[in-house]
Structure 1
Amino acid sequence: MQPRIDDSSPSAAARTLTSSSSRSSWAENEGSASGSDSLLTSSTASLLPPQDNNRRLGPGPGLLIFPGTGQRHQHNPNGSTGSKTIAKANDGNAAINQPGPARSIRSFRRPPLWQPPPQDHAQDGQEMEVLDRQKRKDCRPACLVKGQAFIIEFLQGSSIHGFIYLAKLGLSFVERVLWLAFICVALFSIISLSKRTWHRFQTSPMVISMDRNKLVWNTSFPSLTVCPHKRIDELKVEEYILAHPDQFLSEEDQEDFRDFIVKLASLTYDNLETLPLNKSYGIPSTKYLELLYELKWAFEPEISSGAAVKMFIYETQTEFGICHSVNSMVARYNSFDYWRSGDWSLMDHGDRVTVHPLDGEIYAQIINLSTAYDVYFHGAGDVPSISKQRYTFPESDYTTVELIALEIFTNEEARATKQRSCRFNYEAEEMMTVPIYSFGLCLSECRMFFALRVCGCVPHFYRNRCGYNHIFGTQMRNGRRLPVCGLEGIGCLVKIKREIISLKSDKYKINCNCLANCDDSNFFVQSYRSRVWFLGANLQWGILEHPKMQLRREVLFSFADVLVYIGGLVGFFLGCSALSFTEIIYYFTARFVRRMFFD
């Protein structure tokens, strides 16, 4: 007796439900399989063999295509599942989409004779270009979005006052515009006031202070330049006439030549019209200065002083002719020997002659002058100028001149020439004829080049060789020669002599750009007295009273003051500091690159 199985048990019910669901799922799979077969892609359909449209594929769950492997599951229409087999894609015996009762899985592979279609490289290049252009177009909105987010992040996190209200949420458009206007006004105020501060620093940062402690500093001894009235030796002139008989055919020519050479030796801007311009006697203008030194009168005065440092007297060429300078640091650069040798080197002048109040009264004198003379008092770092006052003394007087001094010295902390409005002696970059700077030498060069510009030549008492080549912009010793004025050129100088002396003209533009000496000594004649002296002309000069005051140029407004002033303006208008500017630099360099390219 077999046991009875109760179909109403829960397990039996479950088996029944499972069997029915299996049959229904297989039915659904048949429908999906037919749909899958009808929706094959073009690439798959191209591999199918030609079939009849009325031919119906066998039942099955459908065709599944994988790379390299095709699998198909087949089931029994009665509901029983068959055994599963796997056909690999490289199986050459497997047919493609061939129905058969014995095969549950079908696979296919690419036919061995199949080749990819030929590619058009030009079309591919155009397609790539279109894709790149499309990618750039797609990138632009993304970059703009990143940039906008970066700006908002900077405004919200900046330590500069007012910037946060430009990006703060909850504010209306009008409020943002008002805050932007306030920030613009603050920036305008900072820029305008900072410009004034910088202009003050560049033009007038110096202050002239007075020092009254006279026992601490020394005073420079007065320098002077003596120009004798007699400059031509008559015996040398006679010898020159005898040596050149072809140039002087008559007594009248010889007499005219004597007058001509004397006036040429004393020629200056004041007496240009006194020179006879009718005959040159066969002397080229370039030989004027050489001839004057050949025929000059031997002026050999002696000098003595009570100072501790010995004084020297040097022959120098000035705008007044051949003169002699005492206690001068720049006179030797204008000597004819220095010019003729083509030298441009700096010379050793020794110590500057100074005096101290404890030294008492110190005088220097020049004896054996033997002729009337003109005297120009000036500092040791300067030369006589035609615009300065001169004193004339006869040949038979013993003259004593008492002077007072006023000196000014400059602190070298102000290194820019524009700031201190003066030049030191070693700042000779713009000088053309001497390697040292002096206010008097600068004015002489200005007159020389003004004459060259108007008349096309320079007077013979200037150095007619430039030390700088302006064509190539480089320094070149023994540079170009300048034409020397002959009789026709001197006639041109007569017409503009007032403009040359004053360096002011309504017709011509004159810009000398000559600055004062930074270390300068000014001497003023307080009194002088003369008496007849049987031993000839003598000159004695000295300081009657030592100065009780000395002037000094010192820096009042330095670069540190500029930083403090501008920093105060920025802090007052925007409430930021130096770290705020560092923050701006950081944001728009490292953080900007990181946000735009790496995030």
Structure 2
Amino acid sequence: MLISHKVNGPNSDSLSPSNSDEFPQSSNPSTSSSLTASTASLQHQEPVEHRPGPGLLLFPGTAQRHQHNPAAGTKATTVQKTSARTGASANANADDDNNVSINQKRRSVRSFRRPPLWQKPAKRQENKKLETEKDQDEKQLQADLEWDKRRICLAKVQAFIIEFLQGSSIHGFIYLAKLGLNFLERMLWFAFICVALFSIISLSKRTWLRFQTSPMVISMDRNKLVWNTSFPSLTVCPHKRIDELKVEDYILAHAEHFQSEEDQEDFRDFIVKLASLTYDNLETLPLNKSFGIPSDKYLQLLYELKWPFEPEISSGAAVKMLIHETQTEFGICHSVNSMVARYNAFDYWRSGDWSILDHGDRVTVHPLDGEIYAQIINLSTAYDVYFHGSGDVPNISKQRYTFPESDYTTVELIALEIYTNEEARAFTTKQRSCRFNYEAEDMQTVPIYSFGLCLSECRMFFSLKICGCIPHFYRNRLRNGRRLPVCGLEGIGCLVKIKREIISLKSDRYKINCNCLANCDDSNFFVQSHRSRVWFLGANLQWGIIDYPKMQLRRDVLFSFADVLVYIGGLVGFFLGCSALSFTEIVYYFTARLVRRMFFN
């Protein structure tokens, strides 16, 4: 190893191939060995003890490679000297060894002149370390600042709450922050305050619930000379509703549906029963033939074939009474002194009108007017009559009276009215438990509200829910434009199975929730007596009031919002000893004063 370093030194020209004539070529191996040894003896040798280790300090990478294969380096040096001395060409193995030695030398020199590529500069590492420490210091400083701000804010909030408790006018709050009290005393006062707050909240909830559910009271008014009494309204439904001549004309015009005399007779029976169809007699309608009539045309056909029922009316009242044709759950009828009958007229339905009509003045009577009667003449047939108020319609669940076509009938009624005070209009329908006629937001077939109309709609939608269709005597077009299917023969067969539930609106199998409230201004009439006698001029009906009511019901406001405030204020004053100014103080403290203390102090 030491010889190799000396050959490549500055005196290596003496051994170069240019001086090869001084060293004759010899083929004897012993001669070559002796020459190599003599040449090595001429070099200056350093003491072994002062010589550095083989490449330990200068060439660490090369030293490791020489230690791994020392024979290769020695052999390469010997071959190089021998070829230089003899001047002959070396064999292939000697050239390979020489190239390996030269490459090793070059790598050793390159590793000595610059550090390896994987080694990072020390200055860059120090700069990065300083930057990291600087970032950590900044983060720590920022965290310390945030914590200081939080501590300052908490200290301000604590001081503000203590100031509020010590200066509050609410009894008991001062003892929560008063100096000189121990923890047990403060907790005792805190428990007293909690009990007082619980009592206030629970009793106030009961007061508010009462205000929302039953703020009204119905009282009796006996000042009979002050009020007017509504005249009884009625609805007359004739038994004869189909004109036979019109039926014959219809059969001739639609001869293709009537192939035999039996078909014609069946149709006459079908159309008569269809005109008188109601929930009570659904099972009487024959369900074997439809005669080519679609179900949505039933009502139109009944009006085309109806019998001309044109009664006349007269009364002794100051206001003229009118009679209007109307469609009810009992078929085509006529109503007198009714404010809602015109909304159930077939012409009103067919025109698609949803406007509010002019009802005129309500017919009323006074005890000073004496006995007031109204009379319907020229009925010409037996009839059913229903007595009701002017703001309602006949109901299938109410009592009806049937009179023959040859009697003159007189009916005497008594009245019981209920009206609502004007102050109650400011309350909701849930609080009043009643509706005025203009509160019709939930009605789907008429633009006004009536208790009877609400029940009719409830029956209609219940039929639609169970059977998927509605009877033909309802309006099948809703306010939103939707058209409901009308029951045909199959649908009527379904209605027969649930007719008891439809009439009573009570069921154990189905959920029925009509949510129909009474009329706020309503009149109830009860038949006191009626008498009939044979009359040769045909059926006549006379009705009226002979005994005026001596009592009237009035719906008044019993528990208003002012009463709620007084009641809750009394509870707060009783349990905490504070007033309205105490609540103003709380609002002031936690708005203006809090902002000032937190941001400007």
TM-score by length of structure 2 reads: 0.77
Q: CA deviation at 1:209?
A: 1.5
| 1:242 is aligned to 2:252 | yes
Q: Residue 307 of structure 2 aligns with which residue?
A: 297
Q: Residue 102 of structure 1 aligns with which residue?
A: none
Shift of the 277–171 alpha-carbon distance from structure 1 to 2, 3 Å rule, reads same
What does the per-residue CA deviation read over 1:177-227, in whole Å, with 9 as the maximum and x for residues that have no partner?
111111011001000100111111111111111111111111000000000
Q: Residue 432 of structure 2 aligns with which residue?
A: 420
Instruction: Provide the rounded CA distance (Å) in 2 between the counterparts of 1:400 and 1:224.
Output: 13
Letter in 2 for 1:432: Q
Which of 382, 390, 400 aligns to 1:390? It is 400
Which of 457, 462, 466 aligns to 2:478? It is 466
Instruction: Provide the rounded CA distance (Å) in 2 between the counterparts of 1:402 and 1:395.
Output: 20
Instruction: Provide the rounded CA distance (Å) in 2 between the counterparts of 1:131 and 1:425.
Output: 74
Q: Residue 519 of structure 1 aligns with which residue?
A: 521
Instruction: Provide the rounded CA distance (Å) in 2 between the counterparts of 1:540 and 1:124.
Output: 109
Letter in 2 for 1:426: Y
| 1:448 is aligned to 2:460 | yes
Q: Residue 108 of structure 2 aligns with which residue?
A: none
What does the per-residue CA deviation read over 1:215-267, in whole Å, with 9 as the maximum and x for residues that have no partner?
11110000000000010001000000000011111111111111100010000
Instruction: Provide the rounded CA distance (Å) in 1 between the counterparts of 2:361 and 2:382.
Output: 31
Instruction: Provide the rounded CA distance (Å) in 1 between the counterparts of 2:440 and 2:183.
Output: 62
Instruction: Provide the rounded CA distance (Å) in 2 between the counterparts of 1:313 and 1:228.
Output: 14
Q: Residue 341 of structure 1 aligns with which residue?
A: 351
Q: CA deviation at 1:293?
A: 0.3
Instruction: Provide the rounded CA distance (Å) in 1 between the counterparts of 2:508 and 2:167.
Output: 62
Q: CA deviation at 1:171?
A: 0.8
Instruction: Provide the rounded CA distance (Å) in 1 between the counterparts of 2:343 and 2:136.
Output: 79
Which of 575, 578, 581 aligns to 2:577? It is 575
Letter in 2 for 1:574: L
Instruction: Provide the rounded CA distance (Å) in 2 between the counterparts of 1:121 and 1:290.
Output: 95
Q: CA deviation at 1:131?
A: 3.8
What does the per-residue CA deviation read over 1:511-551, in whole Å, with 9 as the maximum and x for residues that have no partner?
00000000000000000000000000000000011111111
- 1:170-189 equivalent positions in 2, closer than 5 A: 170-189=180-199
Q: What SS is found at the alignment partner of 1:392?
A: strand
Instruction: Provide the rounded CA distance (Å) in 2 between the counterparts of 1:332 and 1:135.
Output: 80
Shift of the 331–165 alpha-carbon distance from structure 1 to 2, 3 Å rule, reads same
- Segments of 4+ moved more than 4 angstroms: 120-130
Q: Residue 594 of structure 2 aligns with which residue?
A: 592
Q: CA deviation at 1:412?
A: 2.7
Shift of the 246–128 alpha-carbon distance from structure 1 to 2, 3 Å rule, reads farther
Q: CA deviation at 1:142?
A: 1.5
Instruction: Provide the rounded CA distance (Å) in 2 between the counterparts of 1:231 and 1:136.
Output: 92
Paired-residue identity, %: 86
Instruction: Provide the rounded CA distance (Å) in 2 between the counterparts of 1:404 and 1:121.
Output: 103
| 1:229 is aligned to 2:239 | yes
Q: What SS is found at the alignment partner of 1:413?
A: helix
Q: Residue 545 of structure 2 aligns with which residue?
A: 543
Instruction: Provide the rounded CA distance (Å) in 1 between the counterparts of 2:146 and 2:491.
Output: 75
Q: Residue 41 of structure 2 aligns with which residue?
A: none
Which of 187, 194, 216 aligns to 2:204? It is 194
Instruction: Provide the rounded CA distance (Å) in 2 between the counterparts of 1:591 and 1:485.
Output: 72
Shift of the 508–121 alpha-carbon distance from structure 1 to 2, 3 Å rule, reads farther
Shift of the 147–251 alpha-carbon distance from structure 1 to 2, 3 Å rule, reads same
Q: CA deviation at 1:270?
A: 0.4
Which of 317, 323, 326 aligns to 2:327? It is 317
Instruction: Provide the rounded CA distance (Å) in 2 between the counterparts of 1:339 and 1:220.
Output: 28
Q: CA deviation at 1:395?
A: 0.4
Instruction: Provide the rounded CA distance (Å) in 2 between the counterparts of 1:579 and 1:552.
Output: 39
Range with greater deviation from structure 2 (208-217 or 220-229): 208-217
Instruction: Provide the rounded CA distance (Å) in 1 between the counterparts of 2:169 and 2:301.
Output: 80
Shift of the 539–121 alpha-carbon distance from structure 1 to 2, 3 Å rule, reads farther
| 1:207 is aligned to 2:209 | no
Instruction: Provide the rounded CA distance (Å) in 2 between the counterparts of 1:580 and 1:492.
Output: 67
Q: Residue 486 of structure 1 aligns with which residue?
A: 488
- 1:497-512 equivalent positions in 2, closer than 5 A: 497-512=499-514
Letter in 2 for 1:456: G
Q: CA deviation at 1:133?
A: 3.2
Instruction: Provide the rounded CA distance (Å) in 2 between the counterparts of 1:142 and 1:460.
Output: 79
What does the per-residue CA deviation read over 1:273-313, in whole Å, with 9 as the maximum and x for residues that have no partner?
11111111111110000000000000000000000000000
Q: Residue 47 of structure 2 aligns with which residue?
A: none
Q: CA deviation at 1:508?
A: 0.5
Which of 364, 368, 379 aligns to 1:354? It is 364
Q: Name the count of aligned residue pairs.
A: 473
Instruction: Provide the rounded CA distance (Å) in 1 between the counterparts of 2:134 and 2:552.
Output: 89
Letter in 1 for 2:577: G
Q: Residue 406 of structure 1 aligns with which residue?
A: 416
* Contact kept? 2:380, 2:539, Cα under 8 Å: yes
* Contact kept? 2:407, 2:534, Cα under 8 Å: yes
| 1:457 is aligned to 2:459 | no
* Contact kept? 2:370, 2:546, Cα under 8 Å: no
Shift of the 178–364 alpha-carbon distance from structure 1 to 2, 3 Å rule, reads same
Instruction: Provide the rounded CA distance (Å) in 1 between the counterparts of 2:204 and 2:135.
Output: 57
Instruction: Provide the rounded CA distance (Å) in 1 between the counterparts of 2:439 and 2:148.
Output: 63
Q: CA deviation at 1:121?
A: 10
Instruction: Provide the rounded CA distance (Å) in 2 between the counterparts of 1:223 and 1:124.
Output: 97
What does the per-residue CA deviation read over 1:355-396, in whole Å, with 9 as the maximum and x for residues that have no partner?
011111010000000000000000000000000000000000
Instruction: Provide the rounded CA distance (Å) in 1 between the counterparts of 2:350 and 2:140.
Output: 80
Q: CA deviation at 1:122?
A: 10
What does the per-residue CA deviation read over 1:317-365, in whole Å, with 9 as the maximum and x for residues that have no partner?
0000000000000000000000000000000011000001111101000
Instruction: Provide the rounded CA distance (Å) in 2 between the counterparts of 1:121 and 1:351.
Output: 95
Shift of the 362–134 alpha-carbon distance from structure 1 to 2, 3 Å rule, reads same
Mark the structure with the bigger radius of gyration: 2
Shift of the 586–301 alpha-carbon distance from structure 1 to 2, 3 Å rule, reads same
Which of 525, 531, 534 aligns to 2:533? It is 531
Q: What SS is found at the alignment partner of 1:481?
A: coil
Instruction: Provide the rounded CA distance (Å) in 2 between the counterparts of 1:506 and 1:156.
Output: 63
What does the per-residue CA deviation read over 1:40-75, in whole Å, with 9 as the maximum and x for residues that have no partner?
xxxxxxxxxxxxxxxxxxxxxxxxxxxxxxxxxxxx
Which of 322, 329, 333 aligns to 2:339? It is 329
Q: Residue 62 of structure 1 aligns with which residue?
A: none
Letter in 2 for 1:564: V
Q: What SS is found at the alignment partner of 1:542?
A: strand
Instruction: Provide the rounded CA distance (Å) in 2 between the counterparts of 1:133 and 1:291.
Output: 89
* Contact kept? 2:327, 2:346, Cα under 8 Å: yes
Q: What SS is found at the alignment partner of 1:175?
A: helix
Q: Residue 159 of structure 1 aligns with which residue?
A: 169
Structure 1: state its 5+ residue gaps.
Answer: 1-116, 469-478
Letter in 2 for 1:181: A
Shift of the 255–123 alpha-carbon distance from structure 1 to 2, 3 Å rule, reads farther
